[in-house]
């Protein structure tokens, strides 16, 4: 049984100024945490943060994965997928540093705070990890991630060399709310996974983490041999799966409620294999 603890905190925006122009969209950065010692089985912590400009958004998507001896993905499980949109009329210059929650919560619980502004922070811990990779995708300004103040022995962090694709939602119905909120009547999000394998992480339109029971619905993630079903508000972790080869990932379903970012599907592809 997976023992997973996660802490999320929306950070206080530091300097806020009147917006004069919409900035260019922020890029997405992907990291991989790799097990480099077979003795690294007694715990792992990853954390990160980023900020968001006016009319833009930040998110973090994290999944654990296993890469087999053949160098291909064998399995994956979702750990978190959450974000924040900015308030209208302000711009965040940089995210705050540090968490507002008092350390990581006990296993199986979460800590969230929502504050005015546009920054995110997260921490995820596993007490006895059985996988050998963690993929961390972050969008926003000042993107950063690490293994915490005390680096977990037996693991290392590096930038991911493969592709990352983000499929935005086309199901937003709220014209007055911030970008990414008021999602309803979701139907479909899809992306190719790449010829050498990939993992996919879904984000239901009825996302409830950080909002209590702010939505209902169900989605189906397909593309692997086993389909993954996720429901709101019952499931805390996002749907995720791995494919060792080429596939098309699809997230289908319906839901209504608060949506903290417009992204619905993130696909992380393996680097091209050498001939």
For the stretch 62-104, pLDDT in tens is 999 999 999 999 999 999 888 877 765 544 443 444 444 445 4
- Residue 72's pLDDT is 94
Which of 43-47, 108-112, 152-156, 170-174 shows the lowest mean pLDDT across its residues? Answer: 108-112
For the purposes of burial, counting CB atoms within 10 Å of the CB of 199, is it exposed (0-12), middle (13-18) or buried (19 or more)?
buried
For the stretch 203-256, pLDDT in tens is 887 765 455 556 788 889 999 878 999 988 778 889 999 999 999 999 988 877
Please report which confidence band the pLDDT of residue 179 belongs to, taking 50, 70 and 90 as the band edges. Answer: very low
Output the six-digit token pair for 31. 């990291």
Please report which confidence band the pLDDT of residue 184 belongs to, taking 50, 70 and 90 as the band edges. Answer: low
Q: Stretch 163-175: mean pLDDT, rounded?
A: 70
pTM (predicted TM-score): 0.83
């Amino acid at each position: 049984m997976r023992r997973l603890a996660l802490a999320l905190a929306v950070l206080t925006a530091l300097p806020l100024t009147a917006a004069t122009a919409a900035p260019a969209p922020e890029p997405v950065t992907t990291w991989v945490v790799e097990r480099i010692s077979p003795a690294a089985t007694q715990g792992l912590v990853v954390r990160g943060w980023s900020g968001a400009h006016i009319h833009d958004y930040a998110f973090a998507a994290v999944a654990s994965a296993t890469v087999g001896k053949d160098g291909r993905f064998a399995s994956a499980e979702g750990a978190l997928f959450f974000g924040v949109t900015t308030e209208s009329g302000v711009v965040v210059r940089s995210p705050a540093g540090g968490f507002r929650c008092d350390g990581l919560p006990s296993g199986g619980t979460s800590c969230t705070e929502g504050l005015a502004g546009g920054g995110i922070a997260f921490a995820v811990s596993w007490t006895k990890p059985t996988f050998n990779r963690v993929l961390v995708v972050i969008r926003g300004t000042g993107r950063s991630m690490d293994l915490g103040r005390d680096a977990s022995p037996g693991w290392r962090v590096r930038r991911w060399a493969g592709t990352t694709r983000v499929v935005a939602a086309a199901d937003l119905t709220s014209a007055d709310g911030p970008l990414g909120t008021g999602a309803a009547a979701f139907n479909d999000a899809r992306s190719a996974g790449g010829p050498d394998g990939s993992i996919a992480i879904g984000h239901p339109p009825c996302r409830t983490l950080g909002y209590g029971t702010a939505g209902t619905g169900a989605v189906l993630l397909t593309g692997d041999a086993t389909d993954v079903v996720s429901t709101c508000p019952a499931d805390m972790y996002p749907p995720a799966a791995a494919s060792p080869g080429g596939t098309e990932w699809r997230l289908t379903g319906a839901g209504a409620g608060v949506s903290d970012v417009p992204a619905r599907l993130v696909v992380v592809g393996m680097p091209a294999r050498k001939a």
